[in-house]
A and B are shown apart, each in its own frame.
Chain A
């Protein structure tokens, strides 16, 4: 990962008067307006977040509430086919769950786990990176060695391991909220390395500058210097990684859920819905799996395109 510097106007850690105006005026926003692909990807991503937030208003039923599911309504094909029934626009599954409602609510879970997971990973990575970069020495060596070893293994393997160990520590039967927390934890613990490395790199550059020496001279505690003065100058690249990692985190959650170690069927995420739908692949009920799969693929493609564009737009070498 090459170190990237945040251009002026994209520094979110210093909210001053008129930062919105400056953001609209910045080079990045100009590049954004000129790129139809980026605008399209941003619109699709925002639309996914919007329908996830307003899912209770848009969905015809709450798929997490067993009382609202009628077995009579099971296995209805999508509305446009011959046997379709209102209000099941995209059909229903074995338990009479409306596929569209399940997708809307599942999207909520997927995005929630993704955002919280990336947030946790960034938090761990930033703290460790700050500490490693600022203090250096033995602390730095230990943290970075751990990071090196962890980087040898794919994140999905680490996430699966953590998931299994936590579950065995808490006994196997867990309620939905705990499962969600376990997923966030395993994603957070498997993606922190990149943040730590990037922040450490930026901090090592910042540490030698005069303003840090000045802050040390007037006797500010290390923690205050790190948090108030060094960190804001290292945040730019973190935002880029977070955007790119969001797609990866959502994908990891979906994969874990698909493998059966993620969200349970009583509170399904998109990955769980695909796992449920996989059981009906051979009996011809293709809609139970096709629509959640399409939603997941579109979401990840949109975030990936946005992240790719952001990386290029913020990379001074490519300007």
Chain B
């Protein structure tokens, strides 16, 4: 177990070094940092001076090392456009993205599990068939179209919900939250649905497939024979056994939820990291792009690592398999 964990951690560190090198290459070679800092009419002597003071003349490996140490201290340089430290910009917007992603995931898990169980238990009912058809169409609809459709329906036509932004937020230390105000909660509804819909259909299909599989097993048949109530069989035994893969998938998907938040945040003008990144791509604000790549990769790699390790803890069969391989 220890060997497995260690190997996974080393692997994760390897990935982060590769991503860091990519991020550094972008930061250093895409666009000249000097021309972004000095004015147009600076002499070449002045430019050389600044080059030297920024350490741009040092060997590339030294620069990479310095970049890595700075990044580890959460220092990603200055944004070209905002003239502010990138770390501060990212930190300001992180709560918005994390709240949105968490709400979307919770929504997707709850609805996905409920609907998945329903469609598995009442496989041939009208509603189950309808849900499967709708989920297929839901997968084909682009995220941004779903968002626009929701805005048109609930903000333009009905006027029930705000169409963009985060509403009023409350400050808790450095964290700003929209969960404590009515307008903040109302603003959260449509973006969460838009972001969570894809995961919901995914989880629904997964739960349905797993439930159908488990319901065919011998221990369920045996539980029936023992005369347990249907309720106890379905929820106490069958559902419990489907939850391990579901939680794994949901955990792994949390990373892509953060990535897909880019689209949702643009549609709803949600002031999160994704919107900052999209604007950075449009303005060719390389430091923000490089830092976003690093931060999102770190979140991805950490989640993958945790899920992998938890999985072996939960499922001893995998643990044994991993031990045998090493």
Contact = CB atoms under 8 A, between A and B. Distances in A.
Contacts of B304: 152
Contact of A274 (B136, B145, B259, B278): B145
Interface size on B, as a range, is: 35 or more
A255 B278 contact: no
Interface in A246-268: 247, 251, 254-255, 258-261
A259 B143 CA distance: 12
A289 B137 contact: no
Contacts of B297: 152-153
A167 interface: yes
Interface stretch (B70-78, B209-217, B281-289, B310-318): B281-289
B55 interface: no
Interface in B57-87: none
B30 interface: yes
A167 B145 CA distance: 26
B140 interface: yes
A278 B286 CA distance: 28
A153 B296 CA distance: 9
24 contacts: A149-B19, A152-B15, A152-B301, A154-B260, A164-B280, A164-B289, A167-B281, A167-B284, A168-B31, A168-B284, A251-B142, A254-B142, A255-B142, A258-B144, A259-B262, A259-B281, A261-B282, A274-B148, A281-B151, A281-B152, A282-B156, A293-B149, A300-B141, A300-B142
B281 A261 contact: yes
B284 A164 contact: yes
Given A161-B289, A281-B148, A297-B145, A153 B284 contact: no
B147 to A, nearest CB: 10
Contacts of B151: 281
Interface of A: 149, 152-154, 156-157, 160-161, 163-165, 167-169, 172, 247, 251, 254-255, 258-261, 274, 278, 281-282, 286, 289, 293, 296-297, 300-301, 304
A286 B263 contact: no
A300 B144 CA distance: 14
A163 B281 contact: yes
B239 interface: no
A153 B259 contact: yes
B143 to A, nearest CB: 7
B129 interface: no
Contact of A301 (B137, B144, B262, B286): B137
B315 to A, nearest CB: 22
Nearest 7 CB-CB pairings of A with B: A164-B281, A301-B140, A168-B284, A154-B259, A157-B259, A168-B30, A168-B31
A228 B297 CA distance: 40
Interface string B149-166: 101100010000001000
Contact of B139 (A152, A286, A304): A304
A282 B155 CA distance: 9
B148 A259 contact: no
Nearest to A167: B284
A259 B267 CA distance: 9
B24 interface: no
Given A149-B15, A297-B145, A281 B256 contact: no
A31 to B, nearest CB: 20
Contacts of A301: 137, 140
A114 B149 CA distance: 24
A296 B262 contact: no
B263 A255 contact: yes
Nearest to A308: B136
B286 A255 contact: no
B34 interface: no
B9 interface: no
Nearest to B263: A255
Given A152-B15, A152-B300, A165-B30, A172 B263 contact: no
Nearest to B266: A259
Given A165-B26, A167-B281, A259-B262, 16 more contacts: A149-B18, A152-B297, A164-B281, A164-B284, A164-B286, A168-B30, A247-B140, A258-B142, A259-B278, A274-B148, A293-B145, A293-B148, A293-B149, A297-B141, A300-B140, A304-B136
B152 A156 contact: no
B277 interface: yes
Contacts of B149: 293
B152 A169 contact: no
